[in-house]
Amino acid sequence: MYIKELSVINFKNLEQVELEFSHKLNCFIGNNGVGKTNLLDGIYYLSFCKSYFNSVDSQNIRHEEEFFVLQGQYSRLDEDENIYCGFQKGQKKKFRRNKKEYKRLSEHIGLLPLVMISPSDTSLIMGGSDERRKFMDSVISQNDRQYLDQLIRYNRALLQRNNLLKYFAANRVFEPDNLEVWDAQLVMLGEKINKRRQEFLGELQPIFQKYYDFISDGHEQVTLEYQSQLNEGDFEGQLKEALQRDRVLQFTSVGIHKDDLELKLGDFPMKKMGSQGQKKTYLVALKLAQFDFIRSVNQAMPILLLDDIFDKLDGERVEKIVKLVSGNTFGQIFITDTNREHLDQIIPRVGADYRIFRVTDGAVTENGNNNGGEPKVVENN
């Protein structure tokens, strides 16, 4: 699967851009802040119905404009797919596949598999447990509609239970029968989600180790250690045991919404050790393992977005990564960088079909390719 054409109107700092891509390697070159990452985010948006960086749609509209539009032409399983997204302030977001609007955005998740590797991924290591739960849920949901449905239903039940706890406190009442309805939902769904997360991490762990060894030339053990209250005992019993505390706190203090994933190198948490380069290597290996996992269970080859991949990695590791992802086991790739020299040193040795685009505040210029085409400029109107 690959994206053939991208059309952007008023998305972030991009006024109007239309681009045609190589089916293999595409590179965006330019200074910081000119819109390279925004182009990747537009591609990401068409896969996940949201921005990778900012989930508030109104904040993704270009300054002093009222709407944005993203449109992509894809080749998927030898068939053309047209994906359209339009959002206007104060209105519901419109998302269409081949001119037919989705009833629920969740129906689109998994159709266009994609993996993004970005400097913001450091939040997986340094951020809170919600970042790591989001990582697990995002990967599993791309290939398991049942899991996504269970997750949505669990979060709804959790919201209802928390609202009920607040109601009890505000009105000085207690209605255990009403609470038990939502407890039963949380237990049924939570146990299924917990089991699927454990299965997923069991599958991901050896793939992660393989990529870490390849990139680092090392033999250190990398571990994804799943931490869940459900692993410590009966969920239903834990809810009953925590009831008095929950009534005081006015929220649910136990459940899979409290799960975490400890990322370890050797015997130590990655959060508390390692240089910036080690952390970057760890994250790139983890995301490549994510790609490998999705590819193994999805009919369509995922798209890979590499944002600022050269930062904090030495040239040898960068070349290894680019050579790896340019091979037959990976599909279409997008890379951003501030330095054209990096690409000039590596791309000729890779031997893949490519297009290079220079991004400035006013235009996206095709700055080179190996298919004989003439460079062209797409002006922002």
**SS3 track for 82-121:** EEEEEEECCCCCEEEECCEECCCHHHCCCCCCEEEECHHH
Check whether 331 is labelled as a binding-site residue: no
**What amino acid occupies position 57?**
D
Tell me 181's DSSP state. H
What lies within 8 Å, CB to CB, of 171 at 6+ separation is none
138 exposed, middle or buried (CB, 10 Å; 0-12, 13-18, 19+)? middle
Pairing of strands 268-269, 260-265: antiparallel
| Alpha-carbon gap, residue 229 to 66, rounded angstroms | 45
Check whether 328 is labelled as a binding-site residue: no
Q: How far apart are CA 157 and CA 153, in angstroms?
A: 6
Binding residue per annotation — 351? no
32 marked ligand binding residue: yes
Closest CA to 235 of 196, 184, 200: 184
Query: Rounded distance, CA 134 to CA 358, Å?
Result: 33
Answer yes or no: is 371 a known binding residue. Answer: no
Record the tokens describing residue 2, joined without a space: 């690959």
Strands laid side by side in the 222-227 sheet: 222-227, 260-265, 268-269
Is 35 labelled as part of a ligand binding site? yes
Q: Partners of 7 in the beta sheet? A: 18, 71
**In this structure, are residues 84 and 94 in contact, taking their beta carbons and an 8 Å threshold?**
yes
Positive or negative torsion for Cα 38, 298, 144, 286: negative
187 labelled ligand-binding: no
Q: Tell me: is residue 376 an annotated ligand-binding position.
A: no
Q: Specify binding-site residues for ATP.
A: 30-37
Q: Specify binding-site residues.
A: 30-37
